[in-house]
Chain A
Amino acid sequence: MLLKYVLRRLSIGLVQLLGLTISVFFLIRLLPADPVSRLVGMNASKEAYAQAQAQLGLDRPVLTQLSIYLGFQPDVSPGLLQGSLGVSWVTGSQVTAEIASYLPVTLELVTLSFLFAFAVAVPVGMLSALRPGGRADKGVFLYSLFAGSQPEFWWGLLFVYVFFFKLGIAPAPLGRLSPMTTPPPPMTGFILIDTLLAGQPKKFFEAAHHLMLPVLNLTFVLSGPIIKMVRQNMLRALQSDFVLYANSIGLPRKVVARYALRAAMAPSMTLIGILYGFMLSGAVLVETVFSLGGIGQYAVRSVLAFDYPAIQGVVLIITAISLVVYLLLDLIHAAIDPRIAY
């Protein structure tokens, strides 16, 4: 049952990805842009232009380009079917390899921030729901208003100013490690894991130290909506008939609180999924502030350079990750709430 459901969802996901690939393929080509002259310059000769165009494959009919991209003509160049996202027009290296080096930075940052935000938001949201209008509740209201009303990069700059410049407890916002440190050999791309795998605990702590501020920054911004949502769901659960009934048959406080929390968590999962998918590319501003070369920065660079294969690769990968995250959260939701049927 479960396996069948997962397989069905994955196959639907594949169809969605294919549809997305094709539509993005055409949408990019609708841009009033000329990637060839962008590469060769406005003053290039006709021959140079034609040569560059042929090199990029843009001289072929659009449908042929699509079929090459999808991988139906491996003799010309490998495509999706062969597991290749093509070659970046700007750097000339494989898009897959580039994404593999940029994506883990973002995943590490966003996942850690979500874990922390969740760990903070659930107890705070519960506390504020237990006494609506109480001191904790008012504090939460102020905080969500405050944290949510300022752009995240502004908070980032502020944090850098306070923690690095004034207090000096954070390192300079210059990347994942200090510029003087040699990074560990990339194995997973996640620096916290790579340093451990390389057996360099010192570098692990250095990386964690560097991650501290960006994670704090994102956690600070993300906690607002999550607290609000947990509070809302918890309030609804506490006022529900079954919690009232649980009280009226004399269940101990602890058991009643467990009933309510479980009911509040299930609907919260959905929002977390949406936020996560959004943050994969939405963390770009924070990444920029802390000079972390994440997928968001890669995406921006590709768009500015009209690097079609790179743009497509980024869209495809982020969508695929979002689909997997949604699936996982749906499974968690179903595990919490038996009313969800596969």
Chain B
Amino acid sequence: MKLHEYQAKNLLKKFNVPVPDSNLISNLEEITTIQNNLIFPIVVKSQVHSGARGKAGGIKIANNINEMTKYATDLLGKQLITHQTGEKGLPINSVLLEEGINIEKEYYLALTIDGSVSKPIIISSPQGGMDIEAVAEKNPEEILKTEIHPVAGLLPFQSRNIGFQLNLDKALFAQLHEILTGIYEAFVDSDATLIEINPLVLTKENQLIAADTKFSIDDSAMFRQKDLFNIRDKSQEDSLELEAEDQGIQNYIKLDGNIGCLVNGAGLAMATMDAIKFAGGSPANFLDIGTANNPESVVSALQIIGSDPDVKAIFINIFGGLAKTDIIAEGFVKAKEQGLIQQPTVIRLAGTNVEDGKRILEESGIDFQLADGFAQGANLAVTASIK
């Protein structure tokens, strides 16, 4: 789950990481109640789940109240389209009004988990404000990775190493250590998977401050991070994906093709998308139905796929392990009988209870194409999607 910038900054503040003073508004009336507290210039920042907001026109600098009101009016209620959001963009339901800071220099800091060493790592670079992927490609020597041992925690020598790498004045090392410690504590405390501070700004007043931040939480930790999941902003997520989640289908991702996919297992679901591309088609979604303990979950999944206007054909690819092919077959028959799917459907069944599954399909008298294997199924689905 992603946090908004303002949510992330509120959280970091609790861990003694300095952030600029700000006010959040979700409508224009709120400006009148807060404007006395602000010192201009003020940065008006759209709160959407995307990077590159500045380039897309979602961040403006206001020098007075009139400008601030104008920018807030322009942004609130609009869709912000960045290269990460797709062409529909994301709704700007709130803007952060943040006091400008006098920038002396910008740095990059991030804390994430490195699966190859199974530890949190701090990634730091003197190239602040840049896309870190681009820095990693062009100037890999500008990036330092610092592993943190979970038992020892972040140690002062590690902060010093980072301080020297960033070429900071030694007088700032204590500040840097306090910020890094705060980020690490916030990371562990909130089951984060990523905290990125980009840029970390050194102000002309010699203060280090987190000017922008991205914050992601481990979805598997929802059971113990209820407070954070309560502030999740669903308006930033796809409506079909949310509907799928409401129906208990956690693993549905909308894609831009026209072949709806219902698969068990994430790996097979990805491979099915690959097979469709290989056969010359394009998948409309990723869907892992999981263990599918009852036909109703299959019916719900097919309802979501069937109601997607982009879907021209459906490919059901099941290799039963824990999932039983007869349950999937039953669900398909029910969805058809309830008129939830109109699109031509190709079904490939293998694994647990496959004979029962095939028998249920044959006895139903419903129109579908049975595929013998993976490749054949993908080919049939692509052909059906073109007709």
Question: Are A and B co-members of a single complex?
Answer: no
Residues of chain B whose beta carbon lies under 8 Å from any beta carbon of chain A: none
